[in-house]
Every structure is written in structure tokens, then in C-alpha cells.
A = this chain, B = another copy of it.
Amino acid sequence: MAKYSIQVSELFHALADPTRCAIVGALAGGARPVSALAAPFDMALPSFLKHLGVLERCGLIRSRKDGRTRTCELVPERLCEAEQWIAQQRAMWEARADRMVDFVERLHREEQGK
């Protein structure tokens, strides 16, 4: 649990920035060369490359170089890990909420049965 939380918190750290969220959103539409990916952002290229570095180090994106062009693509498996972690917490919470409803309903029936 502890190890898994550390890994998943790294993914959330990578997504904890509006620029990096927007990069993930852009790459969800398909692989893009860095120059095309950077174009809509009002940001110096070195700053933009730092954001790409954060996403690449935690495995949310990968890049390859063809000649002078570097192309980035999303790694959906890593996105899945973050999604699954959240879904697990929600499922645990919902199971608990269901048990609470059952408990209150049982109390109510017992109260009526008296």
C-alpha cells in the first residue's frame, strides 16, 4: 500500500499543473512533435521542455527522435494506474456508505418490530 501510494502520488504530482494537464489532453488526441505541441502555449521552450521532462520521468508520456524531430506520445497504461487508484478509493467509500445504509435500515426494522 505504501509503495503503491508513492508511485501513484508521483503521477498526481505530474498532473498537478495546468500546463501538464493540457499537454496530456493534447496528446490524448494522438502523438505530436514537440514543436507542434508547444505552439499553443505562451511559454519559453526551455520551460515547456521541463514540463515534458516531468511527464516523461513518471512515465505518463514517452518520446522518440526521428532525425531532428522529437515526437511525444501518451502512455495510457500509466494514466490507467492513476484512474484505478481513485476508482478503488471511491469503491471502498461506496461500499462503506452501502453498509451504513444497511445498518440504519436494520435498526429501523428492529425498532418497528418492537
A residues sitting closer than 8 Å to B (CB atoms) are: 1-2, 5-6, 8-10, 12-13, 15-18, 20-22, 24-25, 27-30, 74, 76, 79-80, 82-83, 85-90, 92-94, 96, 100
Contact = CB atoms under 8 A, between A and B. Distances in A.
Number of copies of chain A assembled together: 2
Contacts of A8: 15, 21
Main secondary structure of the interface of A (DSSP, over half): helix
Given A9-B21, A29-B93, 5 more contacts: A5-B18, A13-B13, A28-B92, A28-B96, A80-B90
Contacts of A13: 12-13, 16-17
Contact of A89 (B12, B74, B85, B87): B74
A96 B18 contact: no
